Amino acid sequence: MPVSYDNNNVGRATRGAAYALLGKAYMQDQQQYQLAANAFAWLITGDGRNVYSLVPNYRDNFLETSENNKESVFEFQNALNPTDNHDDDVDPPSDNLNYGTSIPPFFAPQPAGFTDGQARRWVVHEFLQEQTASGQRDPRLAASFLYDSTDVGGANVTLAYGKKWDSLGLQNAPEDVHNSIQEVCFRKFLDDAVMDGEVFHSGNNYRFIRYADVLLLYAEALNNLGQTAQAYQYVDKVRQRAGLAPLSTAMPALNQQQFLQQLKHERITELSGEGHRWEDLARWGDLGPQLSNRDAGFANFKVGRDELLPFPQQDIDADPNLHQNPGY
């Protein structure tokens, strides 16, 4: 596979995307950490080391104006209808074809969207556990969520689509409420940077695999191989882009299990809302009702059944060799 494509083929799977997906497969399904590390290493220390890097501004990974950047390993290409533009958007597009994504209107806060998918408040507090080296709030929080304190000044100065948060009629909660179900909206992949509302054919690309994800997975693979000391540097790249102190100076030396626990935190703060959480929990063996203290959706989770969805009965009826998943 080619390392890169010309402008007419941007978005097709590259060699780096293939290695990243291969590493994820080894990590996720087979726990073959050496093979996973070998795959990830192509992007980090191998031939791909000059292809990928972290972009200086974290939020650039989620804006339509900075798509297909150096941090993008595999990116789903969305495009506004060519007959439309952000200055004169219409729904539906004039030729009735959807060139883009409908994620933004479903995730955006009202009245810009429907607020159908939201985060829980505990994720906000995950970001607040640690300040940057200069004593500021982790900048990834404001890039990841729209809520009553996206701006540190609070709901009266936090803006969403040009309107003050406290004028939107959404519920607020003080920052010390750890498990509040008050409004926290995913910001990544929204168009609030360029539009006053959302449309069903957004051109904002979906970054499926970022280099930061690969760095953290590589560190996890090395840690599982007993190479914890060598894994620090790859976590530090991600932390320092956000302005956080390196792990080696932020906390005492970590053993293998402690390093994994820290990685669980790092993946939340770096990748929230990007669709990797379920895979992470499954890989770590953390799926279960114990998660209900953070997310009430896990209260009735049954270990050994709910890791998988049931096959539809019509498919089982059509194929005698297809057997229902356990517990259904």
Q: Tell me, what amino acid is at 163?
A: K
Counting Cα atoms < 13 Å in the Cβ hemisphere of 31 gives 6
User: Domain residues of the chain, as ranges?
Assistant: 7-60+207-286, 78-200
- In the block, tokens 């990928």 appear at 52
Exposure string over 150-162, b if 16+ CB within 10 A, otherwise e: beeeebeebebbe
Distance separating alpha carbons of residues 21 and 40, to the nearest angstrom: 9
Distance separating alpha carbons of residues 19 and 42, to the nearest angstrom: 7
Whole-model pTM? 0.91
pLDDT value, residue 94: 62
- How would you classify the pairing of strands 72-76 and 206-210? antiparallel
Distance separating alpha carbons of residues 244 and 128, to the nearest angstrom: 12
pLDDT value, residue 169: 74
pLDDT value, residue 180: 39
Q: Are 111 and 209 in contact (CB under 8 A)?
A: no
User: Each residue's pLDDT tens digit in the chain (328 positions)?
Assistant: 999 999 889 999 999 999 999 999 999 988 999 999 999 999 999 999 999 999 999 999 999 999 999 999 999 999 865 555 544 455 555 666 667 899 999 999 988 998 888 899 899 999 999 999 999 999 999 999 999 999 999 988 999 999 998 888 765 444 444 333 478 999 998 999 989 899 888 999 999 999 999 999 999 999 999 999 999 999 999 999 999 999 988 888 999 999 999 999 999 999 999 999 999 999 999 999 999 988 888 999 999 999 999 999 999 999 999 999 999 9
**Which of 232, 266, 228, 225 minimizes the C-alpha distance to 31?**
225
Q: Tell me, what amino acid is at 211?
A: Y
CATH tag for 7-60+207-286 (out of 1.20.120.530, 1.10.490.10, 1.10.357.10, 1.25.40.390): 1.25.40.390
Distance separating alpha carbons of residues 88 and 193, to the nearest angstrom: 16
- The DSSP output letter for 299 is T
